[in-house]
Amino acid sequence: MEIRKGWRADLDPKIQVVRELVGQYGARLLAAGGVFAELAATSGPEHWAADGVHPTPAGHAALAAAWLRLVD
């Protein structure tokens, strides 16, 4: 889990920039981390992203469904 803390230290500033751009341009944001956190709370994270980063087929399907709900 220590390596994931390093990922967050690198990733969080980038997420912040994306959020600022979303606000600036009125874009829609699919907060994938939140989607995966909710899913993982009920079934475990490995089902959705086996290595903690890259989505499994189920993870890709969940993201696609979330995107469709967002833009519908």
Task: Write out pLDDT tens, residues 10-66.
Answer: 899 999 999 999 999 999 999 999 999 999 999 989 999 998 889 999 999 999 999
Residue 4 reports pLDDT greater than 80? no
Instruction: Tell me the residue type at 42.
Output: T
The SS3 call for residue 9 is: helix
What is the reported pTM? 0.79
Task: Write out pLDDT tens, residues 28-43.
Answer: 999 999 999 999 999 9
Instruction: Tell me the residue type at 51.
Output: D
